[in-house]
Amino acid sequence: MKLLKIASLLSALTLAVGALSAKPIAGPKGGRVVTTEAPHVEFFVEKDRTVAVTFYDAALKPVAPGAQMVTVIAEARSGKAQFALEKLATGFASKQPLPAGDEYTVVLQVRDAAGAKPKNYRILFHDEICKECKRAEYACICDDAGHEEHKK
């Protein structure tokens, strides 16, 4: 009896740890948070398909960008498009929309300052809305099991 209890306790613990590590952070704007530690970086695609990138502190409060520079490389099937994002008071925005199509990789390059080595974050861009969390598929916060369903 005692052994059984320990076993079920152990599996409950394993489940809890698994759920914690798999849970992505929900981007406050509805985008995808690509970082696991602050300062957080959120990748968000506006309705007109331009890209907005916002930085947040650990409490997910927006922070003003410093000397950072952000570049987006869209690896669309129609061809690769690369554009630098413009710095605004609360983050970065692209003037150019993402290329047409869906289901391609977008590389978000963040430099701490001009000339610094970039940090690359790869995002699989999906245009559709996730049925479960009602967020854009590229920003889905469902666990992996839920996510599998939406993959084509």
By CB under 5 A, tell whether 41 contacts Zn ion: no
**Alpha carbons 127 and 149: distance in angstroms, whole number:** 15
**Alpha carbons 124 and 145: distance in angstroms, whole number:** 17
Q: Per-residue contact track with Zn ion, 101 to 140, x per CB under 5 A?
A: -----------------------------x-xx------x
Please report where in the chains the tokens 């695609």 appear, as a residue.
Answer: 45
Out of 77, 142, 144, 152, the only residue in the binding site for Zn ion (CB under 5 A) is 142
Please report where in the chains the tokens 């610094």 appear, as a residue.
Answer: 116
Smallest gap from Cβ 71 to Zn ion, in A, equals 27
Cα–chain-centroid distance for residue 86? Answer: 19
By CB under 5 A, tell whether 34 contacts Zn ion: no
Residue ranges in contact with Zn ion by CB under 5 A: 130, 132-133, 140, 142
